[in-house]
Structure 1
Amino acid sequence: MPDADLIAEKTEQAADALAEQDVDCWLTFCRETTEIHEPCLPFLLGFDVVWPTAIVVSKEDRSAVVVGRHDAPNARELPHEVYPYDESLEEALLGLLDEIDPDEIAVNFSRDDNTADGLTHGMYLRLRDLLSGTDYDESLTSAEDVISAVRGIKSPTERARVRQAVETTEELLGEMRDRWDPDWTEADVSDWLHDRMDDRGLGSAWSWDYCPTVHAGGDREVGHTLPGELTLPPGEVLHIDFGVKQDGYSADMQRLFYRPSDENPEPPEGLREAFADVRSAIEAGRERIAPGVAGHEVDSAARDELTDRGWPEYEHAFGHQVGRNAHDGGTLLGPQWDRYGSAPEGEIRAGEIYTVELGADTEWGYLGLEEMLLVTDEGTEWLTDPQESLSVLARPE
């Protein structure tokens, strides 16, 4: 069944965002969403549709759904007016727009944000045909800014669910550390975590095969790689990038584990210093986070701290939003590179949840850390329990 309480929270947020941005209404137009997903549907409807469907929210806090008759019963428990149809949604949709009388209709397309780009080209053309000859023929505009606010600023229900996903992810990583065996390969680590996720009915925050991503030691090529057959050599570092999806919401964190050797039962000084450099760069970025700050400014603070400590630049963004997915769109804490489009130019808002992440390649392995935080009016609040030192695995045999 649809999550009526969550949808009520997000619909209210949508009306507030429209009023703040002075956009008359937001129209989500979709069909056959099990085949082609509409990223905004979970916030507005909570179930997949078959026939063409229109969900309209106005800045006057009115919301309505024009939906095929066989899908309509699913919508009746939601905070929307429901207009079922059989042959065509045209009459009901145009009648609804006439009542709202918008100058601008924000729809789901975006050049740079995939979470705001759910309107297919075919449905866009179909919508243009529906509006042809009406007063709204030239009214369509991007809903990117509206969606960024709705998806980015987490409601109370969403915050609680992200916190739970974080807690569960940390719990599973702690259990893995306690159960870890020196004979385990990267794939064994991944399989162990997958088995625990299956036992608890959990999903993965990104593609199952790559979540977790596991890198064992200094010889491992780092990236979005599948766990392989390498075991962790004594005196080196196990790097894990992992997050569960629980009740529809995700966590995303990276943790580091040191395997003792006879020579170095504790992390050697050089490794501890490299870890401290990574930790300091993450803190430098976090300290720059506040409402109204542009994403690229945060990335620059972290990037400069790391390079000032003698390490190469990392080749990715410093942080991204997390919510229903590990990469949740909106403002990016990243450099102003072409591949990121306008996302790093966006401003941070209170209520958004971000990762802060970077790393350094060392002889002991990749030292990648990733934490999660909530932006508050005053600054930030950690959602993860920050890793302040290397976690030591089993003692040498």
Structure 2
Amino acid sequence: MSSILIKSATIVNEGKQFTGDVLVKDGFIERIDSLIDSTADKEINAEGLHLFPGCIDDQVHFREPGLTYKGDIYTESRAAVAGGITSFMEMPNTVPNTLTQQLLEDKYQIAAHNSLANYSFFMGASNDNLDEVLRTDASKVCGVKVFMGSSTGNMLVDNPTTLEKLFAQSPMLIATHCEDEGTIKRNLAHYKELLGDDIPVRYHPIIRSEEACYLSSSMAVELAKKHNTRLHILHISTAKETHLFSNDMPLENKRITAEACIHHLWFTDADYETRGNFIKWNPAVKTQADRDGILKAVLDGRIDVIATDHAPHTLQEKQQPYLAAPSGGPLVQHALVAMLELYHQGKISLEQIAQKMAHNVATIFQVEKRGFIREGYWADLALVNLNKPWQVNKGNILYKCGWSPFEGNTFQSQVEATIVSGNLAYENGSFKNDKSGQRLSFTR
């Protein structure tokens, strides 16, 4: 489809809302105006609907290669597109871990054939692959991922010399998972001694504690300041950590930025009683005070991005006892509507949602011509009905794993259509273009 005309949408973009038309042609936004009197191959009547820039999710785990029984690039990108996410950045803890340039390129080749959404992949860092990391092409790869915590086992970077070299020499943005391994091990040993192997899941945020998060995050910030590294800390889970970040300069001038995830803005430790392992993430969902503190930091600009950390596991895996159940859950299909639910609750504005889920991600990662509704930019767009309630259930979940932590929730908003790189990929519950995603490029 070479052209699409969206008529009479309420456009949410760059801190404003206004009613207008958008003409998409050959993949790009050709014109934005109050009234466009033109013909197109496809015309969408968007009266009463809100048009957002497509969300850019800077942290997903789509499980391919090696773990495709949980999810794969095709299935999870479909779910993302249905949720208004038009671009994703995927993590290196696949099997094998993405620790060489060849393995990184292998993932790009899979996505080129199978992804409905636009895509990029992080280069993984380990204790002994610095030379490979330094070969990464910053114009074609979103960033370098460093696990400063035990979330992914053998990808843990815990050698102080390696960390110093990474932060001193990385040619591009470093994204970190921050939890202090020593603190977690001590906490786990303590509760195993008290309770044996039958530890209730409610102890998860005590084992993976505020102290563990803050020790690691503060160390990452200290290293970044020492070496002037471009640092992006992922999935902040405590109110205490939010004070490591500033809101005293324009985003494009920040060297240290931070991300909050949907689950840390939605759930609290009170939810372990009913949701159990289905809300077991690393870092852990913590207290209501932490949830409220994270939202406050999102609103005042200390936290810059809202993402998912989408990480599917099978029902069977999640139904195991706490110590055996893996951490992580699927979120891309429900991320935007979950944030719109917070809008309905009066907790965040539509403009802030567009900023945190699209504009700021594009700015932080220097994504080329995406993340904004602008003439000359790629047409990545999500058309949303803010007043079309629906309930999440097994019949409408698109994740390969077949479950959602939001099952039973009713959302007031629904994604009506998603345009990916100028292609109508999704409309009214149906997928229109199966492989429309493009590789993201970066202006670095």
TMscore range, shorter length:
under 0.3
Q: TM (normalized to structure 2)?
A: 0.26
Structure with more contact order per residue of length (Cα contacts < 8 Å, sep ≥ 6): 2
